[in-house]
Amino acid sequence: MNETQTTYYKTPIGIAKITGDENGIQSVTVLDETEVTQSDLNADTPEILQYCVTQLEEYFKGERASFDLTVNPKGTYFQKKVWKSLLNIPYGKTRSYLEQSKSLGDVKAIRAVATANGKNPLWIIIPCHRIIGSDGSLTGYSGGIWRKKWLLNHENPNKQQSLF
């Protein structure tokens, strides 16, 4: 049986807690700095998680737009199908929950799709932050709306400049 390994990586918007084993990355969650000890942050990164840390570093430096990792998230068949559909949203783009439901073939499943997005265990790697409300609002993000806004601005910094 594979032993699950854990490491912590400090990002501009919180601490990423990364877990995985030889079968892939199982989860990347975001924590506030008060939830992690300094010894956790200073601990050596297990070899099987190092590539994930490297890719997250590249993402936050603006050098990576997609991830090339073996992932092994825990979830139901439906959840995994929803999470896989999130990978089709290009870097710097967004889709609505309705558009995501349509792409999965069932517009009536919008609430189930939204619930599955909320259970996404692979923060940033499976980009649920790219899903917004049909009216363009930033809704439903387990990491906090401020983080969702930060991530979307990070991926698409070319906003209309004010003339005044």
> Catalytic site residues?
128
- What type of residue sits at position 116? A
Strands 14-21 and 5-11: antiparallel
What does the alpha-carbon distance between residue 25 and residue 76 come to, in Å, rounded to a whole number?
17
* Exposure string over 26-44, b if 16+ CB within 10 A, otherwise e: bbbbbeeeeebeeeeeeee
Tokens describing residue 7 = 């490491």
Q: Would you give the distance in Å from CA 138 to the centre of its chain?
A: 15
What does the alpha-carbon distance between residue 128 and residue 87 come to, in Å, rounded to a whole number?
9
